[in-house]
A = this chain, B = another copy of it.
């Protein structure tokens, strides 16, 4: 059964993007090492520990859900052959035909987050459904539909930008930390949502 996972890089002060959607500092750890992970036309260069995390992420992801804004921001940098290589579902209010880029498909879902999740779970099989971007993460958290979080905690205070945990509801959500993998530039912290 597919698990629903939020997987995102976050600054110590809680931002998943800086001002002007700048994620460069937060994604430094993906591009500043010597161990290469290649996928489609994308190349990541990380420390040995971090490269293992990147590899694991690709191997365990069966489908991706993202907001329209994340899609718009990513579409150009991801290029003609995005590294996802799994079915991606984009939450949007505007109907649009499914698009195929290399081995990645983008399906635009207009009838709500639960419907998108049903489609993503069906596509993911036994692998995870990964939620990308702050807005989608907030919606799925608030709806109580998230099973796990993997936060790549980056040692920086950005001071401004897009917060991951904003408008997630005022209900307390209990977590269990299930893993902590440290590397000099980032701490990969994994949590299970306790129901």
Contacts and interface: CB of A to CB of B under 8 A. Distances in A.
A25 B159 CA distance: 26
A169 interface: yes
A155 interface: yes
Nearest to A187: B180
Question: How many interface residues does chain A have, given as a range?
Answer: 35 or more
Interface in A126-169: 141, 149, 151, 153, 155-160, 163-165, 168-169
Contacts of A170: 19, 159-160
Interface stretch (A10-18, A45-53, A102-110): A10-18
Stoichiometry, as copies per complex, reads 2
Interface string A168-195: 1111111111001010100101010000
Nearest to A161: B170
Contact of A176 (B151, B155, B177): B155
Contact of A25 (B13, B163, B172, B187): B172
A165 B171 contact: no
Contact of A168 (B13, B149, B169, B174): B13
B151 A159 contact: no
Give the top 6 A-B pairs by smallest Cβ distance, nearest first. A13-B165, A157-B173, A155-B175, A160-B170, A14-B14, A155-B177
10 contacts: A13-B165, A18-B172, A155-B177, A155-B191, A157-B165, A157-B168, A157-B173, A159-B171, A180-B180, A180-B187
Interface of A: 12-14, 18-19, 25, 141, 149, 151, 153, 155-160, 163-165, 168-177, 180, 182, 184, 187, 189, 191
